[in-house]
Amino acid sequence: MKIESHLAQIGSVQEPVTGAVSFPVYQATAFRHPKLGQSTGFDYARTKSPTRAVLEEAAAKLESGDAGFACSSGMAALQTIFAYFSQGDHLIVSLDLYGGTYRLLERIMSRFGVTASYVDTNDIDGMSSLLQPNTKAVLIETPTNPLMMITDLERVCSWAKSRGLLTIVDNTLLTPYLQRPIELGADIVIHSATKYLGGHNDVLAGLIITKGEELSKEMAILHNSIGAVLGPQDSWLLMRGMKTLALRMERHQYNATKIAEYLLEHPAIDDVYYPALPHHPGHDVQNKQSSGNTGIFSFRLKDARYIEPILRHIKLIAFAESLGGVESLMTYPAVQTHADIPEEIRKAVGVDDRLLRFSVGIEHVDDLIEDLEQALREAKQEIEEQ
């Protein structure tokens, strides 16, 4: 069966009592035991909960993994994964990293003796030079956010495997509809399901998918012990969102490509960072390892004075901090999502004061271009009048 059908059918035809087409929300934390030594498979909701279990099974299947774990947020999922490591362990991590992941590693995990080195994960020599005897894993975002740098997953996973390292991939931006890292050799996939999987800017959630029996068992212990699990209502809401993932991703990438092409030609724009564009350095690798493009991209203005008036004048597009929802959002990474990353690292990867990130929604593309056009026009006029 194709992935579109799996997505549409999440939670359907599984409810045995009534045949409800939408899987019910089991709002229960305790489950009656038939008798001593027997269980229905559910004991206490932190360990396993019926609505969440349907979501977790679907997540594992969609990502070609062996087990799925639903968490209360993407950060909770990352914390659960990081708890797999021990004092003295070292990780190699994508340089252009989600700000919250950087903060978790540097402010919290560092206090527990888990250290990280940041590098362009497409640079095998650079990664080799960072290897320490205590290096345990590589954590990759591809595409990165906001600069959309692409890592060749097959290449890096096989490099990591040959050195006994685990590969962890944050697949938030592409989702299993477009890219399945485990099929390319990864061991663990993590999602901020708050973004495209949920898709409607209304549910905060995270997912972990593991490959391999031992790793899956260990992750189940961590998930249950830490307890940052997703509740039944949010599990249901996430599944409801995921049913339309395929349709949404098609429209997101169609709109994003049209708008990226429009902005690239605009005289106020210096460059557009979107792997669907042929001039993007990761274009070929992206085409090789995924079946399409995400719905977000970044663009750099020629003049930083444009930023403030653009953010004030956009009307249909909201100035807000997130991505992956049906509504279009514009973010200013230097002061919002990436404020926790030190300036020298930010500048080194190119997150400067002229960069905007655009999470393109599923509105009509003509309306989005019109909104951008009027905001750019107003901004130009204000700058000329200064």
Ligand X SMILES: *Cc1c(COP(=O)(O)O)cnc(C)c1O
Question: Which residues does the annotation mark as catalytic?
Answer: 46, 98, 170, 195
In the complex, the smallest distance separating the C-beta of residue 55 from ligand X, rounded to whole angstroms, is 15
The binder of ligand X chosen from 50, 65, 74, 292 (CB under 6 A): 74
Candidate ranges 81-89, 94-102, 115-123, 253-261; the one touching ligand X (CB under 6 A): 94-102
The answer to whether 173 and 192 are in contact (CB under 8 A) is: no
Tokens representing residue 75 in the block: 């950060």
- Rule CB under 6 A: which of 266-295 touch ligand X? none
Distance from C-alpha of 74 to C-alpha of 145, rounded to nearest angstrom: 15
The answer to whether 89 and 136 are in contact (CB under 8 A) is: yes
The answer to whether 59 and 240 are in contact (CB under 8 A) is: no
Burial class, 247, CB count within 10 angstroms (exposed 0-12 / middle 13-18 / buried 19+): middle
For residue 179, state whether it binds ligand X (rule: CB under 6 A): no
- Of all residues in the shown chain, the one whose CB is closest to ligand X is 74
- Closest by Cα among 252, 241, 324 to 70: 241
Q: Give 50 or 235: the residue with its C-beta nearer to ligand X.
A: 235
Site string for ligand X, 191-210 (x = CB under 6 A): -x-xx--------x-x----
Q: Give 73 or 135: the residue with its C-beta nearer to ligand X.
A: 73
In the complex, the smallest distance separating the C-beta of residue 77 from ligand X, rounded to whole angstroms, is 8
Distance from C-alpha of 354 to C-alpha of 23, rounded to nearest angstrom: 46
Which residues are CB-contacts of 290 (< 8 A; sequence separation ≥ 6)? Answer: 174, 178, 179
Residue with tokens 């692409």, as numbered in its chain = 150
Candidate ranges 5-13, 24-32, 107-115, 190-198; the one touching ligand X (CB under 6 A): 190-198
Q: Give 42 or 179: the residue with its C-beta nearer to ligand X.
A: 179
Q: What is the CA radius of gyration of the chain?
A: 21
Q: Give 102 or 306: the residue with its C-beta nearer to ligand X.
A: 102
Site string for ligand X, 107-146 (x = CB under 6 A): ----------------------------------x---x-
What is the DSSP track for 229-264? BPPHHHHHHHHHHHTTHHHHHHHHHHHHHHHHHHHH
Distance from C-alpha of 15 to C-alpha of 23, rounded to nearest angstrom: 6
For residue 172, state whether it binds ligand X (rule: CB under 6 A): yes
Total residues at interface with ligand X (CB under 6 A): 15
For residue 100, state whether it binds ligand X (rule: CB under 6 A): yes
Candidate ranges 98-106, 326-334, 352-360, 362-370; the one touching ligand X (CB under 6 A): 98-106
In the complex, the smallest distance separating the C-beta of residue 72 from ligand X, rounded to whole angstroms, is 8
In the complex, the smallest distance separating the C-beta of residue 75 from ligand X, rounded to whole angstroms, is 4
Q: Give 144 or 216: the residue with its C-beta nearer to ligand X.
A: 144
Beta-ladder partners of 110: none
Distance from C-alpha of 85 to C-alpha of 136, rounded to nearest angstrom: 8
Give the interface with ligand X as residue ranges (CB under 6 A). 73-75, 98, 100-101, 141, 145, 170, 172, 192, 194-195, 204, 206
